[in-house]
Amino acid sequence: MIPVQGFEGAKVAVLGLGRSGLATARALRAGGAEALCWDDNPKARDVAMADGFHCTDLLKQRAFEDVASLIVSPGIPHLYPTPNPVVAAALEAGVPVDNDIGLFFRSFASGDWALFDTPPKVVAVTGSNGKSTTSALIHHVLSEAGRRTQLAGNIGRGVLDLDPAEDGDVIVLELSSYQTDLARSLTPDIAVFTNLSPDHLDRHAGMGGYFAAKRRLFAEGGPDRAIIGVDEIEGRYLAGQLAEGAVDDRVMRISTERKLTGAGWNIFARKGFLSEYRKGRQAGAIDLRAIKGLPGAHNHQNACAAYAVCRALGLAPRVIEAGFASFGGLPHRSQIIAEAGGVTYVNDSKATNVDAAKKALAAFKNIRWICGGLEKEGGLTDLLGSTGQVVKAYVIGREAANFAMQLKGVEAEVCTTMEEAVAQAMAQAEEGDTVLLAPAAASFDQYDSFEKRGADFEACVKRGLKARDT
Residues forming the annotated binding site? 127-133
Full strand arrangement of the beta sheet holding 54-55: 54-55, 34-38, 11-15, 67-72, 97-98
Consecutive H or E run containing 391: strand 390-396
Binding site residues for ATP, as ranges? Answer: 127-133
**Number of CB atoms found within 10 A of residue 123's CB:** 29
Longest CA span, the chain: 68
Strand duo 367-371 + 434-437: pairing: parallel
CA 95 and chain centroid, separation: 30
Assess contact for 441 and 352: CB atoms under 8 A. yes
Return d(Cα 163, Cα 168) in angstroms, integer.
Answer: 13
Please, is 81 exposed, middle or buried when counting C-beta atoms within 10 Å of its C-beta (0-12, 13-18, 19+)? exposed
Cα separation of 175 and 45, whole Å?
Answer: 26
Please enumerate in sequence order all residues whose Cβ is within 8 A of that of 107, keeping only pairs 6 or more positions apart, or say none: 2, 3, 4, 5, 6, 27, 31, 160
Rounded CA-CA distance 466/470 in Å is: 6
Residue 381 is classified by DSSP as: G
